[in-house]
Structure 1
Amino acid sequence: MQAAQCGSKSGGPQDNPVAALYGNGTYPWADQMVNWSCVYNVKDYGGKFDSAQKAAMSNGGGGVVFYPAGSYTFSSNIMIDSHIVIRGESTGNAMAKKGKTPGPLSPKTVFHCPHGEHIGIFNNDPKGMNFGVVNVELDGCAIMFWPALKTVSSYNLKTYWFEATDVEGMGSNKLVLGNKIHDVTYQHPDPDDKSNKIVWPWRFSMALASYSDNNTLVANNLISKAEKSMKTTVNFGNKSMTVTYPTDNRYGIDVNQLFLGGVIGKYSGKQCPPEPGKLTPSCAPWYFRRGLVIRDNYVYMNGRVGVSWSGGGDGKTVGSGTQLYNNHVEVAAGTTCWSVTGSHIATGHDTNENRGYNQQGFSNNLTMNTGHINRQKAADSGYMTVDGEGILHQAAGGNDGLRNLWYKNDLSGGSTGYLVYYKLFNVENNQLLENTAAKGFTIGAVVDANHHNVAHNTCKDNHPSCTGM
């Protein structure tokens, strides 16, 4: 029965979807982030999200804005307030993945956004708290829970990456649960250059991002293969060609990592100590936040990175930081990387990453994640794209590899997929146990001959055996 002091006439499901899937008390903050029984049915407000959200904030200090089964079309961003959860029709306990394949998750509430515009669900307050999205299929709609970055004057996509100098806050308690996301792209290689007529994906498009000072649960989401197809013509000097537009050439899930890159570049060697050491919890605390969980997701992509994140633990315990459990990343096989920017043909090192998992921070816990990782053919050459890591912690991210647990991760089955700490200055107190790389690829540490400290690591029962540790 609807609570007397809150909710609208038609109401909707009042159960706690986090507890239903993972049990009461598993994530206490998510159990309490909103009053799950305060349900505002959007159809009681003429189908207008802003009206339903305003009623929720006025009457009960927040709650659930419920979209019954059906299709809903949006032409601009959905701006969500603190203490609001957008919820679609219940999907029961349908899961996003089944082993290494997509699961039966198929939300009956469908949001449609214009193809190629990279709009979707954004947070109104970059320092906000207690908001999320549950049980919605997002057709062309991204989920973008952004931080507050210094010197940023607008929510321009490119500005967030290149112009930020500090992190002013990221808010807390963010939930992304049980959604299906597909056909997310920004159909322009440079978001700031409106005069450019090239139709090609912006390289930093992503399907799902959540930045948080404390607590994020990104769980049981299906980021699936594009369902739309189109052709585009690109011109490389005297060469013109018509190719399939690479809709899935985008990042999958990003938690506290990719869009902090502009800040990282300004901190490393300045506010933070110079090498070795680089970013640390004392000088860049926003890069080592607690309470981050990424689990049970299926991510399909073609050329970029499946899951990216940073995080930090308690400062002493192996695996006490960001928790990644039972995710799968499928990197498309048999595809061609024609270009990264749409302005010149892919060649040499100017190609995609084709990477499964990209970590930063300390004390990450990667347990029972899987991936089929494949490189792409580079344009019309015989060259294959570079990278192709299964799990990577690299020096370019700006911090050492300390107290991480990699346990029973399986990257076999793809054409590439190795598990490495790459040219970090310090690789210490890590545990690599029972992991499997793709056939012919390595597990361990890749270091320069001098000035690196690799010590006190445990590598056991991996296939192949560890090297460099």
Structure 2
Amino acid sequence: MRISRKALLKYFLLSLLGAGFVLILFGGSTYLFSSKQNVVRSSSSIAVNLSSTCGSPKAGPTDNPVAAKYGVEAYPWTENIKWNCVYNINDFKGSTIVEQFNAARDVATANGGGVVYFPSGTYTFTDSIFLKNGVVIRGDTPSGKDAKSDSYKPPTKFIFSKYEPTFSGNGTPNNTAFKKIFTTAPESDSNIGIVNVDINRGGIKLSGDIDTGKKQNIVIFGIRSNNVADPSPQVPDISFQEPWMRYSDRFAANITINAFANVLVANNRLNDAITDNYEQPAYKIKPLEGNEIITYAEGSKVPFHYGNHYGIVVNRSKPEGFTLAAEPNTEPGLFRKGIVIRDNWVFHTMRIGIQASGDGLLIKDNQISDQPNKEWWTDPTGTKQPRGAVTYENRAIDWSGYNVQIEGNNYQVYRHRVMDTAYLSVDGEGILIQECCGGTKINGVTIVKNEGNAYIGLYKIPSTRNVRISDNKVLSNVSDIASIYVEANTNNRSSSMENVIIENNTVAGTIAAKANLGGKGNIIRNNIGNNSGTIKYSCNITVQGNTGFAQEPCLNLQSSNQQTQ
């Protein structure tokens, strides 16, 4: 059949038109697909979806581990963390694990936050790492989930660089070790945390300005932490010490956090396997008297010790220090809401196990351990010979704030023998608030069902209101202070207290409560002693139903212009 030239031309034009339509349709479809997927590419060339299917291909667990342990209603703010957006570290490339983490973290941040997941295994870091807003580090879920159990060992392990000392010249540079997990914007990064990781040689330091910072919603959960330290900036004192000498900074901590609101430090295990302590033979200090420098030939007298520091510190870190007996208008950072420290296991050999402040602060069900038969041969700075009255702040819990609850904690505290003398360090407190050093006035505290070997003290607080100390057991006492000691008088002035109730406690020793200016609603009742102590009390306090104490006459009230003796 013959086809006319006119028909051929028509067929050709229709074919061109159809092909063009297909190209336009295909191109348009491709454009719409790309726009809908909204893809961002990281430096590792992993495409990650910004839509509801966020995360990386290998992903990981997506549950809220806090809700799994405590229920959704306990800490609802943890739902602000994007647990379902999981970025598996194995989906990201880098020449080091730090670069891999940074790539995963940056993609998570670009997608509005999420979890950087590290599956079971060991990850070696040679530098500090930094979280960003909305990013949580998460390891694999441990088979045993109770951090207070001796078998607690998260299968995801982070190992940071070890400090390898040298005992000549300038020594090993400090920057070869002592790494940390920080956050990039410490004043504002929120919805951040670290979950289920065994961290060796890396402290967690999410600090910032305690008064003006706005970061919130911080979770530290399921961490195991060992061999954390900082070198003291006071050592070496090159006027008499060798440049290679080092001393463990007493203000270091395994976990340090300053936040505006909502901090949960729970189910962590600190310092159960310290392996990096090392001795320093020929360490030098100044004498108490005279000018002759003392050199300790025995390296065991001044070891660099990875347990001589704080365990957990929340909202008690301020370089310039705090005003005495603080109030919300003088130290707002000490009265933040939503601070919870619970179910942790903490071992330390100097300073304080848990130190925290807040309005509504909860410190609950922690176990705090210490080393007995300790001995130390320097002052706290590591530069001088210690005096007999030296304090190393051996203390289990140091708290401050309003409306505080301290419940169900078990603690052991021991004092240091000072060199080879008969003196013991002037410390050994179990649960303490004091006027100085981040202490606040008291307006609401419940201290119940705690058990330990050192005293419960509300020590020289000039405004003490609404206190209940009940059902505690202080069955031994390593200090010379009363087993329960409440005093509203300070060194400079007398004061009063109101609604202080001390009841149903079992103690080995004395119960003392003093307020020279009187007050109302104060009661000591139904406590049980072991016939080794007395009840000492101001005459404004009702005393009734106590057994196992020698009760002395009440202490006469004094006028407001008399100082406490």
Instruction: Give the match's secondary structure for 1:19.
Output: helix
Instruction: Give the match's secondary structure for 2:116.
Output: strand
Partner of 2:227: 183
Is 2:183 the counterpart of 1:123?
yes
Q: Which whole-Å CA distance do the structure 2 matches of 1:68 and 1:345 have between them?
A: 49
Shift of residue 8 of structure 1?
0.8
Shift of residue 218 of structure 1?
0.3
Give TM-score scaled by structure 2 length.
0.71
Q: Larger relative contact order (C-alpha < 8 A, sep ≥ 6)? A: 1
Shift of residue 114 of structure 1?
2.3
Partner of 2:305: 246
Partner of 1:56: 108
Q: Which whole-Å CA distance do the structure 1 matches of 2:334 and 2:284 have between them?
A: 40
Shift of residue 222 of structure 1?
0.1
Is 2:403 the counterpart of 1:363?
yes
Partner of 1:87: 138
Q: Which whole-Å CA distance do the structure 2 matches of 1:247 and 1:68 have between them?
A: 28
| Kept after mapping to 2: 8 A contact 1:120/1:144 | yes
| Kept after mapping to 1: 8 A contact 2:55/2:86 | yes
Q: Which amino acid aligns with 1:238?
A: I
Partner of 2:363: 324
Q: Which whole-Å CA distance do the structure 2 matches of 1:77 and 1:438 have between them?
A: 44
Of the candidates 80, 86, 89, which is equivalent to residue 42 of structure 1? 89
Q: 1:291 to 1:49 in 2, by over 3 A?
A: same
Q: Which amino acid aligns with 1:125?
A: A
Of the candidates 351, 354, 373, which is equivalent to residue 307 of structure 1? 354
Q: Which amino acid aligns with 1:180?
A: R
1:321-400 alignment runs, 5 A limit: 321-339=360-378, 340-396=380-436, 397-400=438-441
Shift of residue 335 of structure 1?
1.8
| Kept after mapping to 1: 8 A contact 2:108/2:114 | yes
Moved more, 450-459 or 300-309: 450-459
Partner of 1:135: 196
Shift of residue 385 of structure 1?
1.2
Q: Which whole-Å CA distance do the structure 2 matches of 1:463 and 1:4 have between them?
A: 56
Q: Which runs of 5+ in 2 are unaligned?
A: 1-48, 164-176, 286-292, 515-565
Q: Which whole-Å CA distance do the structure 2 matches of 1:174 and 1:85 have between them?
A: 9
Q: Which whole-Å CA distance do the structure 2 matches of 1:454 and 1:146 have between them?
A: 35
| Kept after mapping to 2: 8 A contact 1:331/1:373 | yes
| Kept after mapping to 1: 8 A contact 2:235/2:247 | no
The one-character-per-residue Cα deviations of 1:109-144 (angstroms, maximum 9, x if unpaired) are 111122354322111111221000000011011011
| Kept after mapping to 2: 8 A contact 1:436/1:462 | yes
Shift of residue 284 of structure 1?
2.3
Q: Which runs of 5+ in 1 are unaligned?
A: 150-166, 269-277, 313-320
Partner of 2:455: 418
Q: 1:438 to 1:76 in 2, by over 3 A?
A: farther
Q: Which whole-Å CA distance do the structure 2 matches of 1:432 and 1:248 have between them?
A: 30
Q: Which whole-Å CA distance do the structure 1 matches of 2:496 and 2:178 have between them?
A: 43
Instruction: Give the match's secondary structure for 2:318.
Output: helix
Q: Which whole-Å CA distance do the structure 2 matches of 1:189 and 1:442 have between them?
A: 37
Q: Which whole-Å CA distance do the structure 2 matches of 1:129 and 1:93 have between them?
A: 29
Larger radius of gyration: 2
Over the residues paired in the alignment, what is the CA RMSD in angstroms? 2.2
Of the candidates 469, 472, 477, which is equivalent to residue 435 of structure 1? 472
Q: Which whole-Å CA distance do the structure 1 matches of 2:235 and 2:70 have between them?
A: 39
Shift of residue 249 of structure 1?
0.2
Shift of residue 84 of structure 1?
0.4
Q: Which whole-Å CA distance do the structure 1 matches of 2:198 and 2:207 have between them?
A: 21
Q: Which whole-Å CA distance do the structure 2 matches of 1:349 and 1:192 have between them?
A: 24
The one-character-per-residue Cα deviations of 1:287-314 (angstroms, maximum 9, x if unpaired) are 10100000000000001100000111xx
Partner of 2:212: 168
Shift of residue 463 of structure 1?
1.9
Of the candidates 251, 273, 277, which is equivalent to residue 204 of structure 1? 251
Q: Which whole-Å CA distance do the structure 2 matches of 1:104 and 1:391 have between them?
A: 28
Q: Aligned residues: percent identity?
A: 29
Q: Which whole-Å CA distance do the structure 1 matches of 2:237 and 2:358 have between them?
A: 33
| Kept after mapping to 1: 8 A contact 2:307/2:349 | yes
Instruction: Give the match's secondary structure for 1:57.
Output: helix
Partner of 2:322: 264
Partner of 2:123: 72
